[in-house]
Amino acid sequence: MSDQSVSPRKFHIDSVIISFVVCSLIVAWNLHTSPKFEHWFLIPVALSGFVVTIDAVNWFMGRLSIFDPVGIIGLLSFHFFFTAPILHVSWDQWLEPWFQYPPDWRPWLGGMAIFNLLGIIVYRFCLNLVPLKSHNASGQTVWQIHQKRFKLVVNAAMAVSAVLQINVYRQFGGVMGYINSANSAATGAEEVDKFQGMGIVFLVSESFPILAMMAFAVWAKQHKRLQSWPVLLIALVIFIVLQMFFGGLRGSRANTIWALFWAAGIIHFWIRPITKKDIALGLVFLVCFMYIYGFFKAGGVEAVQKAFSGEEARAQMEEESGRTWQGMLLGDLGRSDVQAFMLHRSMRPNSDHEYAWGQTYVAASTILIPSALMPHKPDRNKTREGTELLFGKGSYIPGQWHSSKIYGLTGEAMLNFGPFVMPFMFIPFAILIGWVQSCLFSWHSSDSRLLLLPMLVNFCFVVLVSDLDNDIFFLMKNSGFPTLVVWLSSQKKFVPNNLGNLQAISTKKLSQMRTVHRKLKSQN
């Protein structure tokens, strides 16, 4: 069994009270500090925050495991559904200026909050319907690492990954050429074509760091001296360096952040538990990293150097690149403004938007098919549909003008079926969360699949904030090769239930004692 020690779905009245108090204080503070919050939009936003914060409180109070997906989603949803809309209004920060803003953003934030609140209620109801797996009284079948096979497979996989990554750098004329091409791709220049068709290569080449962490974890589990925090911190630093070399220099903050989350989870499940204090320190590092990495993505190494040459230079870089603290919190970790704008565009009286009726999902399902095998893929993808909703019918011009926005679980549903379907998208989301939580609750502490579990927890949040094509890409690109390595290196084995063994031993000893007692009594 995992480190889950209590029922993760038990109702706790004190968590409800604390959630209510926390959200009420935040709402009262904003009402006190600005008249902009004297608007009905704050009611559904606050109610959404109240419901999701209950799980966050349970996580803080130790009623949920550190890596329980319900707790993680509760923590992130506190910002996604509650603080992000409030901060948008407080900071008056919205989409890029070329969007035709609505006269007042608050009704559309409130409208999205109503749909989200309904979806959160559906999520809570459906989550409780997903059964938690239970252990067989006699034991369970687990995946266990076959040591000799693991060494062979993981070393071969790391070698292939390293060779492919070196070849990628050679293809781009070295590391700097690779960075320059990635920066050009991020700004929409012609060099973006150089990365097209390389998804399968990246699937293998960028897996080296997480494979190395798995190898280290399996090794460290057998050597006590490698389980100290100084050694583990050094391992994490080396992991970050490797992650930058194997894909991080392409300018994807998400790749590096999610990979670090996965590495921390491997340490937690496989070597030694991570505490909430460790999580807090890690979050401080991640926020700083995302801020600095934003400059790198906007202009490479020179942009980072310029940003930290002085306060004025940093302010100038923030203005030129749009990479601000506010933008990071609201753009990278939220979808409030883009979803509110989508709701405004789809429900306006003169809307010319035509729903895709599921065609963006069909297009997303083909992203793993090489163009050589399927040269003509469905054209009604999320890029086209999103562009025409945000800017009007006919605005999508392939290769010249398109929106690169990510719309999230409910946003993509709006593109396809309209806003009234959005709450029902939380049904499959709840099933996913419940299944991953069930894995956490039931997998044995020696199960090799725990090496993959942090990725599954991460995937739960990705599904909430991303579109289906992003979900499929994340799942296959980040986990495809490591999952294959774990599968090839594992053997299924039946592990007896320790408690059952102890009970059997106690019963046997008791029977023996009774037999001896009867013999002594008969002799007397």
The one-digit pLDDT tens for each residue of the chain (524 residues) are 444 445 567 778 999 999 999 999 999 999 999 999 999 999 999 999 999 999 999 999 988 989 999 999 999 999 999 999 999 999 998 888 888 889 999 999 999 999 999 999 999 999 999 888 765 556 678 899 999 999 999 999 999 999 999 998 888 888 887 777 766 655 444 444 566 667 788 889 899 999 999 999 999 998 889 999 999 999 999 998 899 888 877 756 667 788 889 999 999 999 999 988 888 887 777 777 777 766 666 666 666 666 666 666 666 666 555 567 777 778 778 899 999 999 999 988 888 888 999 999 999 999 888 777 787 888 889 999 999 999 988 888 887 788 889 999 999 999 999 999 999 999 999 999 999 999 998 888 889 999 999 999 999 999 999 999 999 988 998 889 999 999 999 998 887 765 433 333 333 444 554 555 555 555 55
Note the pTM of the prediction, 2 decimals: 0.85
Q: What is the structure's pLDDT at 255?
A: 73
Tokens of 345: 């565009």
Return the residue matching tokens 């946003």: 411
3-class DSSP state for residue 93?
A: coil
**Cα–Cα distance for residue pair 214/216, rounded to 1 Å:** 5
Phi, psi angles (nearest 5°) of residue 495:
-110, 120
Q: How many whole angstroms separate alpha carbon 421 and alpha carbon 490?
A: 42
Reduce the DSSP state of residue 170 to 3 states and report it: helix
Q: How far is CA 484 from CA 68, 200, 264, 316, 462, in A?
A: 24, 14, 20, 46, 21
Helix, strand, coil fractions of the chain, as percent rounded to 5: 70, 5, 25
Q: Is 288 left (phi over 0), alpha (psi -120 to 50) or beta?
A: alpha
Q: Which is nearest to 8 in space by CA: 104, 115, 127?
A: 127
- Domain boundaries defined on the chain: 146-329+447-496
Number of neighbours of residue 113 by Cβ within 10 angstroms: 26
Number of Cβ within a 10 Å radius of residue 230: 7
* Residue 354, φ and ψ in degrees, nearest 5: -110, 125
Spell out the residues 6+ positions from residue 122 whose beta carbon is closer than 8 angstroms to its own. Answer: 423, 424, 426, 427, 430
Give the position of tokens 């583990």. Answer: 232
Number of residues that this document lists for the chain = 524
Torsion of Cα atoms, 81 then 84 then 89 then 95, to 10°: -110
Look at residues 383, 402, 390, 380 and name the one whose alpha carbon lies nearest to residue 343.
390
Task: Report the Cα–Cα distance between both ends of the chain, in Å, rounded.
Answer: 49
Q: Packing angle between helix 408-417 and helix 453-465, nearest 10 degrees?
A: 50
What's the rounded Cα separation, in Å, for the pair 106 and 39? 8
- How confident is the model at residue 501, as a pLDDT? 37
- Tokens matching residue 280: 């807090």
Closest CA to 60 of 70, 71, 68: 71
Rounded CA separation 8/81 (Å):
22
- Residue 225, token pair as written in the block: 């001296």
The token duo for 392 is 């009007």
| Cα gap 198→310, rounded to integer Å | 38
How many CB atoms are closer than 10 A to CB 379?
11
The kind and range of the H/E element at 9 are none
The DSSP string of 339-388 is HHHHHHHHHSTT------TTHHHHHHTTTTS-TTT-SS--S--HHHHHHH
pLDDT score of 201: 85
The tokens 């392409």 sit on which residue? 250
For residue 422, give the nearest of 85, 119, 123 by alpha carbon.
119
Q: How far apart are CA 362 and CA 367, in angstroms?
A: 10
Cα distances (angstroms) measured from residue 277 to each of 280, 288, 365, 417: 5, 17, 40, 43
Which pLDDT does position 504 carry in this prediction? 37
pLDDT of residue 191: 42
User: Which pairing describes strands 139-145 and 490-496: parallel, antiparallel, or unpaired?
Assistant: antiparallel
Give the sign of the dihedral formed by CA 427, CA 431, CA 433, CA 434: positive
Long-range contact pairs involving 244-247 (C-beta distance under 8 Å, separation at least 24): 245/165, 246/161, 246/165, 246/205, 246/206, 246/207, 246/208, 246/209, 247/202, 247/205, 247/206
264 token code pair: 């921390």
4 φ, ψ (degrees, to nearest 5): -75, 120
